[in-house]
């Protein structure tokens, strides 16, 4: 395999535009993307964005229904370079922390864990309960990157797009994919 292969999952948590923007950036590069949308992600996309479900699916190279546990990405023998769950609901985060692979998103995440591959979770909830924090801590101890959608004020964002691009850039950094979505901090001088 010459290019990277990344799994992108979008759950029903608020912030579907984050996953869509990541897909847009990955589609501009020679990166094979595999997309999974939860049932509630489809509703959230319709409620929060101007995108149709078909437009979002078209951003990926391969789309897998969330109930297809026989999909390629449900097996460790299918090589991938990582997975991003963006946004990640607390239901999905909890299931992954407990090893409860009830759909393709949680099964693919379980594969990332067992194969020691990069798994990035963008949790979208506030405020956080002790249960949420414990689940994130548990996953972090397993090597999962917990990347909350926090604003980088040093970039002096002027629009919501600036904030989204900063977050997507941080994810691309974690996946070791070059980008120029934000100006990097170079110190105070």
- Inside any domain, residue 26: yes
Q: How confident is the model at residue 183 (pLDDT cuts 50, 70, 90)?
A: confident
The answer as to whether 41 is a domain residue is yes
* Alpha-carbon gap, residue 122 to 166, rounded angstroms: 13
pLDDT band of 2, cuts 50, 70, 90: low
Q: Decide if 186 is inside a domain.
A: no
pTM of full prediction above 0.85: yes
Whether residue 105 lies inside any domain: the answer is: yes
Q: Provide the CATH number for the domain around residue 45.
A: 3.40.50.1950
Q: Is residue 185 part of a domain?
A: no
For residue 158, the model assigns a pLDDT of: 96
Q: What is the mean pLDDT of the chain?
A: 96
Residue 104 near residue 7 (C-beta atoms within 8 A): no
pLDDT at 3: 85
pLDDT at 186: 82
pLDDT in tens, 50-91: 999 999 999 999 999 999 999 999 999 999 999 999 999 999
DSSP, residue by residue, 115-169: TT--EEEEE--SSPPHHHHHHHHHHHHTT-EE------GGG---SHHHHHHHHHH
Q: 69-79: per-residue pLDDT in tens? A: 999 999 999 99
Residues spanned by the domain of 26: 4-174
* 174, 168 Cβ separation under 8 angstroms: no
**DSSP assignments along 5-66, one per residue:** EEEEEE-SSS-HHHHHHHHHHHHTTTEEEEEEE-HHHHHHHHHH-S--HHHHHHTSSEEEET
Judge whether residue 189 has pLDDT over 70: no
Q: Which residues pair with 35 in a beta bridge?
A: 8, 63
Flag whether pLDDT at 26 surpasses 90: yes
Pair of tokens at residue 14:
């608020």
Q: Look at residue 188 and tell me if it is in a domain.
A: no
109-140 per-residue burial string, b: 16 or more CB within 10 A, e: under 16 = bbbbbeeebbbbbbbbbeeeeeebeebbeebe
Rounded Cα–Cα distance for residues 135 and 6 (Å): 24
Residue 167 inside a domain? The answer is yes
Our count of domains for the chain comes to 1
Examine residue 184 and state whether it is found in any structural domain, yes or no. no
54 close to 20: Cβ distance less than 8 angstroms: no
């Amino acid at each position: 395999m010459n290019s990277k292969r990344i799994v992108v999952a979008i759950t029903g948590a608020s912030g579907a535009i984050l996953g869509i923007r990541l897909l847009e950036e990955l589609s501009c590069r020679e990166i094979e993307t595999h997309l999974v949308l939860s049932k509630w992600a489809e509703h959230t996309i319709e409620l929060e964005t101007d995108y149709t479900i078909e437009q979002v699916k078209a951003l990926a190279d391969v789309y897998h229904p969330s109930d297809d546990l026989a999909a390629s990405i449900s097996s460790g023998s299918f090589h991938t370079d990582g997975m991003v769950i963006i946004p990640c609901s607390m239901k999905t985060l909890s299931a992954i922390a407990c090893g409860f692979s009830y759909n393709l998103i949680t099964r693919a995440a379980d594969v990332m864990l067992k194969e020691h591959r990069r798994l990035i979770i963008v949790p979208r909830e506030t405020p956080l309960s002790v249960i949420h924090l414990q689940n994130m801590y548990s996953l972090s101890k397993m090597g999962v990157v917990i990347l909350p959608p926090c604003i980088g004020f040093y970039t002096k964002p002027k629009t919501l797009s600036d904030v989204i691009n900063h977050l997507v850039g941080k994810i691309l950094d974690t996946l070791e994919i070059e980008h120029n979505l934000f100006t990097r901090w170079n110190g105070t001088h």
